[in-house]
Amino acid sequence: MTGRLIVISNRVHASEGGATGGGLATALSAALREYSGVWFGWSGRTVGEFTGQLSVQRQAGVTVSTIDLEAQDVEEYYNGYANRTLWPLFHYRVDLAAYERSFDQGYARVNARFADTVLPLIEADDFIWIHDYHLIPLGRELRRRDVRNRIGFFLHIPWPARRLFATLPNHRELAEALFEYDLVGFQTEDSLQAFREYIVDEVDGVIEAGEAQAFGRSCRIGAFPVGLDAPGFEAAARSQAADTWTGRMRESLNGRQMIMGVDRLDYSKGLEERFLAYEEALTTTPEAHERVFLLQIATPSRNEVPAYQEIRARLDAVSGRINGAYATVDWVPIRYVNRSYRRDELAGIYRAADVGLVTPLRDGMNLVAKEYVAAQDPEDPGVLILSQFAGAAEQMREALIVNPFSREEVADAIRRGLAMPLAERRRRWEVLVHGVRTEDVGAWRDNFVDALKTAPPSDLPATSGL
Ligand code: ADQ
């Protein structure tokens, strides 16, 4: 393609497969590798006073350009509006969403700071691709600074139901900001549908043939499900390090079956409900005692946000209680681990698991489900249990799809997964792995960028006379 790709996201984390910085970083790092362009974002560091000083480096084959933020910015924009207002609201936790004016101000200020500092990097024929809920108003800030380039926006998390989104003070202003983009992408048809309902029923807009018109403007919209760096992940799963970990896990299993979960430690991932569903399976299947265990890897994240401190404490308590109730001298039903692993190590551990248990209460996509599938041994694959509320469930129909709010349903699926005959496991896995390979991160990037290149410019007057 002509013109470079400028990717802008809150954090920048190029990596070649070491410990990862979460799903977005994993996906973007893979998408940008060997691609001409720049990745711009916050360094993760704080300074006394904002200077706008850019730091430019090559990281894992990608040019990254970062800025530092002030402590107040981080508190109001990142820990505040992004992670205490939008994240819980977009994950249906309106009970946890905090609406504070200082957060709004911090969010607006940091988006303006991003626009000021990225501006000198933008050349006339560049395409700009902005990511996620931290930066919804950035397109508008760039337009105010006279940027006429094609600008696309991709939301990694779900778009919430209309009535929930309407609880956000200034929700119209936030939605209106999306219409400064030439293309707005969502993970799933489900999110696209929720956005459509909001635009049509709440702000009297029109949606036709992939084009949204409202607020006197128009933009293209579409679903672009994010995928894995499938070749990279499969190669990691066949590496020496992965083999070592598979062997190490199998040895420690000692003939037992293993159920496995891997998540950022976040209330949207349904970890407490998962522990309770597993307890339900233990209670109702006494013969499984000492013959199965759950390995839950949960990396702490967003430690500064109180809801995350609370969920961490709850998980310590629930896992401790279940282990206390069921453990014997040589068996612990839940191994609960709060550290992070390299990609190859993780792939090796996934491969040793008979069941991958992925039960978020709400999730934009969920890459763990795809990683679990990609890591399996084709001759003896494990079973994926997947929440109907993960975006991945739209693509991964051959998983055992469950309602994560129902302990009994998840417990049934655990029993079924552990007992599933080899022929059925292989049949399901073959369909799943085909999807993971074809709808991978490269396809996601190419589909989005192609749609951005061909989108009509957003500043054309809306065609239906709105
Ligand atoms: P996340 O909420 O971070 O991403 P997810 O898609 O599951 O969720 O990605 C998590 C990533 O972090 C995976 O690559 C996983 O391997 C890695 N990870 C988690 N725990 C780890 C550990 N202990 N050690 C090493 N790696 C670990 C957001 C959205 C998702 C969406 C992605 C991408 O919330 O819905 O799928 O962005 O768009």
Query: What type of residue sits at position 427?
Result: R
CA-wise closest residue to 362 among 89, 96, 174: 89
Look at residue 76 and tell me whether its pLDDT is greater than 60: yes
Of the candidate CATH numbers 3.10.580.10, 2.60.40.3080, 3.40.30.10, 3.40.50.2000, the domain formed by 5-227+443-453 belongs to 3.40.50.2000
Find the residues whose C-beta lies inside 6 A of ligand 1. Answer: 19-20, 22-24, 26-27, 156-157, 226, 262-264, 297, 299, 340-341, 346, 363-368, 371
Q: What is the pLDDT of residue 34?
A: 54
CA-wise closest residue to 61 among 29, 84, 89: 29
Alpha-carbon separation of residue 70 from 78, 87, 98, 99 (angstroms): 11, 21, 21, 21
Q: What is the pLDDT of residue 23?
A: 60
Look at residue 77 and tell me whether its pLDDT is greater than 90: yes
Domain boundaries in the chain? 5-227+443-453, 232-438
The two tokens of residue 110 are 């940091």
* Mean pLDDT value across residues 441-457: 91
Q: What is the pLDDT of residue 232?
A: 87
Rounded CA separation 322/325 (Å):
5
* Mean pLDDT value across residues 127-136: 97
CB of 38 within 8 A of CB of 4?
Answer: yes
Could you identify the atom of ligand 1 that is nearest to the CA of residue 391?
35
Q: How confident is the model at residue 465 (pLDDT cuts 50, 70, 90)?
A: very low
Residues 6+ apart with CB under 8 A from 405: 273, 361
Could you identify the atom of ligand 1 that is nearest to the CA of residue 342?
25
CA 326 centroid distance within chain: 33
Q: How confident is the model at residue 332 (pLDDT cuts 50, 70, 90)?
A: very high
Mutate which of 367, 444, 448 to test ligand 1's pocket (most atoms within 8 Å of Cβ)? Answer: 367
Q: What is the pLDDT of residue 16?
A: 55
Mind spelling out the 3-state secondary structure of 167-211? CCCCHHHHHHHHCCCCEEEECCHHHHHHHHHHHHHHCCCEEECCE
Q: Is the pTM of this model over 0.85?
A: yes
* Mean pLDDT value across residues 204-226: 96
192 CA → ligand 1 middle, Å: 22
Point out the residues that are catalytic. Answer: 156, 363
Mutate which of 132, 266, 368 to test ligand 1's pocket (most atoms within 8 Å of Cβ)? Answer: 368
Phi, psi of 80 (to 5 degrees): -90, -95
Which residue CA neighbors atom 35 of ligand 1 most closely?
A: 364
* Mean pLDDT value across residues 233-255: 94
Per-residue pLDDT reduced to its tens digit, 345-391:
999 999 999 999 999 999 999 999 999 999 999 999 999 999 999 99
Look at residue 22 and tell me whether its pLDDT is greater than 70: no
Angle among Cα 334, 336, 337 to the nearest 5 degrees reads 155
Q: What is the pLDDT of residue 218?
A: 96
Mutate which of 132, 264, 337 to test ligand 1's pocket (most atoms within 8 Å of Cβ)? Answer: 264
As a whole number, the mean pLDDT across the chain is 93
187 CA → ligand 1 middle, Å: 14
Using CA atoms in the order 96, 317, 389, 398, what is the torsion angle rounded to 10 degrees? Answer: 170
Per-residue pLDDT reduced to its tens digit, 410-447:
999 999 999 999 999 999 999 999 999 999 998 999 99
Angle among Cα 31, 32, 37 to the nearest 5 degrees reads 145
Q: Which residue is it, tokens 């994993």?
A: 26
Percent of the chain with pLDDT over 70: 94
Rounded CA separation 268/405 (Å):
12
Rounded CA separation 126/123 (Å):
6
Fold of 232-438: Rossmann fold (3.40.50)
Q: How confident is the model at residue 463 (pLDDT cuts 50, 70, 90)?
A: very low
Fold match, 5-227+443-453 / 232-438: yes
Q: How confident is the model at residue 151 (pLDDT cuts 50, 70, 90)?
A: very high
Look at residue 241 and tell me whether its pLDDT is greater than 80: yes
DSSP assignment of 247-288 equals HHHHHHHTT-EEEEEEEEE-GGG-HHHHHHHHHHHHHH-GGG
Which residue CA neighbors atom 10 of ligand 1 most closely?
A: 23
Q: How confident is the model at residue 298 (pLDDT cuts 50, 70, 90)?
A: very high
